[in-house]
A = this chain, B = another copy of it.
Amino acid sequence: MSELLSPTYTRADEAFDCLQTAIVKGELAPGEKIGELELCSRFDLTRGPLREALGRLESRGLLVRRPHAGVKVVSVSASELMELYRIREVMEGLAARQAAERMTDQEIADLQATLDTHERMIDEAQGQAYYQAEGDYDFHHRIATGSRNTKLAQMLLGDLYYMVRMYRYRLSTSTGRPQRALGEHRRIVEAIAQRDGELAEFLMKRHINAARQNIEKKIQEGDISI
């Protein structure tokens, strides 16, 4: 995963990546109590690097540790998931505004090309929730990076997205409104291309708010459970 970024890749990094993807993909179920030695044998690691990775993951809120009592994957309630979307709303709104001010023309062109790819993906693989979710993630990822706000991108990419993706995998459902979401994405990119930060922020906030309400409705209807 990150072995491309850092020339030397330590076991602790390896442990961190393995555990993070395992948690996100739901291979380690939320609330599941899990022993260190079990994790070691499972991922072929030794306890030292593993514990370092556990510390990082705890600090990021993906799991909780109780001294001498083991570690368990964090389980987030429905209401807490909704709170995550409230945070995303304001933070990604800011990201969109700053992206409109700072992205290069090339980056914007790439972003538009990305949306074309997403459109084909939706047409071809109709209902393939997984790929839709990945496309959505790609879009938001690019805007976070494009904000040129290091800490903002770090918080979005390093904290929030992992928790949100964790629930995407668990629910194995995308927003369920792919073409509508794509349209919203297009309008956001349009605002960015016109360097209209204020509009980009407004549209992004509305986009995420709509996604939140969509999930909230599904939960209330009992379509999905957490």
State how many residues of chain A have any CB contact under 8 Å with chain B. Answer: 38
Residue of chain B at shortest CB distance from A60: B59
- Which of A31-39, A86-94, A104-112, A135-143 lines the interface with chain B? A86-94
Asked whether A150 lies within 8 Å of B80 as measured between CB atoms, the reply is: yes
- Give this chain's copy count: 2
Q: Is A52 an interface residue (CB 8 A)?
A: yes
Asked whether B155 lies within 8 Å of A67 as measured between CB atoms, the reply is: no
Asked whether A86 lies within 8 Å of B98 as measured between CB atoms, the reply is: yes
Q: How far is the CA of A84 from the CA of B150 in the complex (A)?
A: 9
Q: Is A6 an interface residue (CB 8 A)?
A: yes
Q: Is A8 an interface residue (CB 8 A)?
A: yes
Q: Is A154 an interface residue (CB 8 A)?
A: yes
Chain B nearest Cβ from A212, distance in angstroms = 13
Residues 164 to 190 of chain A near chain B (Cβ within 8 Å) = none
Q: Is A29 an interface residue (CB 8 A)?
A: no
- The one of B9, B59, B86 in contact with A56, judged by C-beta atoms closer than 8 angstroms, is B59
Residues 18 to 62 of chain A near chain B (Cβ within 8 Å) = 48, 51-53, 55-56, 58-61
